[in-house]
Amino acid sequence: MKVLIADKMSPRAAEILRHRGITVDERVGLDKDELADCIGDYNGLVVRSATKATPKVLERADNLKVIGRAGIGVDNIDVPAATARGIVVMNTPFGNAITTAEHAVAMMMAMVRQIPTANMSTKSGKWEKSRFMGVELASKTLGIIGCGNIGSIVADRAIGLKMKVIAHDPYLSEEHAIDLGVEKVDLDTLFGRADIITLHTPKTEQTRNIINHDTIAKMKPGVRIVNCARGGLVVEDDLRAALESGHVAGAALDVFEEEPANENPLLQFDNVVATPHLGASTTEAQENVAVQIAEQVADYLLNGAVVNALNMPAVSAEEAPRLTPYMHLAELIGSFAGQLTQSALRSVTIEYEGHAAELNTRPMTAAALCGLMSPQMDSVNMVNAPVIAHERGIDVSEVRHERPCDYQTLVRVTVTTENQTRGVAGSLFGGQPRVVDIKGVAVEAELRGHMLYITNRDRPGLIGEVGSILGNSGINIASFHLGRDNVGGDAIALIATDNGVPQNILRAVAALPNVVQAVPLEF
């Protein structure tokens, strides 16, 4: 076996691979043509963020079996192209959590005490003691948006600083919040109470631009904002306006919408602390991810073990062809339920009937959990989804039914949150997945692309009203599926559109008489 390490990283990675009997070449700084010319010689490729595994490179990778990313993000790897070539893509989602959390705390402290500006002033020969009046963190309320692996570490450090910590996370249960020592609140409450807000959530359709003009208006005057998570969570123009008005007293930013952020207007503010995406940049973190990815790649090449794979479930080679369509169905049904979930998950039950009940259900359950949790968190895959569910205190049940089934196969995902229980079921038609039941209402539809999910009271005229709003907005309807529990009762519409539905159009649909809920979905 032969592995190419194409980016600079801890020498421990090469040491581990060689110790396991694998030949290692370290060739840092290859351009895309040089990489394409040599990649056919290797069984494994280990990278950080600089090397780009593009389709052009991968089409020359005749012997490549695995790509290992020492870190979390895989933007530099074309995962679909790798999957099409049968190449496993792995990352190390937990190797730099402590480092990133510590950086967020350091940024928060630097911001409230104006350390960067005071440092520059003092080094320039000034002694402006009265200019740099800071504030204490003790007794202040820290609002954490996203209380997963990194957010929970930030909470622990903040509690050690004697701060009051409140948190918003759809997957944070009351019990786990108590264990962490934080108060679980809804998003509007967090905006209204927090003195400092720190972001530790992935960038998804639900979290993109979560800090914007409207949400900033809900925050108390003098609030401070920290973002060491992802660029795009903050609308930077809206933050700039709030800094100029004084409504936001300061910001600490490690990530930006466009990087490098050399010409970003936010860098002109004295009360903005900025760093060049350093969240994971410590010696310990880089050593951790290098060691982890080397061990994972070696285990896969030598033993076939799969850990932290983004595009491959834990399935044997013999099972894979038969299981693949069932796993795809389970993931889509899970994703449907996950995109509708707005409060903390307490339990998930995955039921199998017909042909699905006769198969190995573990990878199907992992696929369903992956789909369920992916809308709210990154780095979830079929391998680590069950572990993450367990860590978050989500009770997962698997049920196989031997009873007669209306379909050849049926997979049902029932989610219980703090507020409600919702079930979604799907089947395979000609090997293709379709939803067939939503909350006990029969609705048959393919799940693909952009969709709009509407729940409403069954009254005349809704179809025309929704169609008019979408049509007048230039949004073409690809398909329109309806279901109801009884005449005049609860009804469901599932609409496929050629384009995504903007927020203003979504609000117009939600404001229609008899509409209870309108949610955009992506598959």
Q: Which residues are identified as catalytic?
A: 230, 259, 277
Structure-token match 């007794």, residue found:
139
Structure-token match 């595994």, residue found:
53
Cα angle 36-306-150, degrees, rounded to a multiple of 5: 95
Strand partners, 495: 452, 480
Where would I find the H helices in 219-260? 236-245
Residues contacting residue 371 through CB under 8 Å, at least 6 positions apart: 330, 331, 332, 333, 334, 335, 336, 337, 338
Q: Compute CA distances 82 → 38, 53, 64, 311, 489, whole Å.
A: 17, 8, 9, 9, 48
What would you measure as the largest C-alpha separation in the chain, in angstroms? Answer: 84
Q: Give the whole-angstrom CA distance, residue 79 versus residue 496.
A: 26
Where would I find the H helices in 348-397? 361-373, 385-391
Where would I find the H helices in 161-271? 174-180, 187-193, 213-217, 236-245
Q: What share of the chain is helix, strand, coil (3-state, %, to 5)?
A: 35, 25, 40
Q: Give the whole-angstrom CA distance, residue 214 versus residue 498.
A: 28
Q: Where are the beta strands (DSSP E) in 134-194?
A: 141-145, 164-168, 183-184
Burial 231-256 (b: 16+ CB within 10 A, else e): bbbbbbebbbebbeeeebbbbbbbbb
Q: Give the whole-angstrom CA distance, residue 400 versus residue 9.
A: 47
Structure-token match 């692996």, residue found:
149
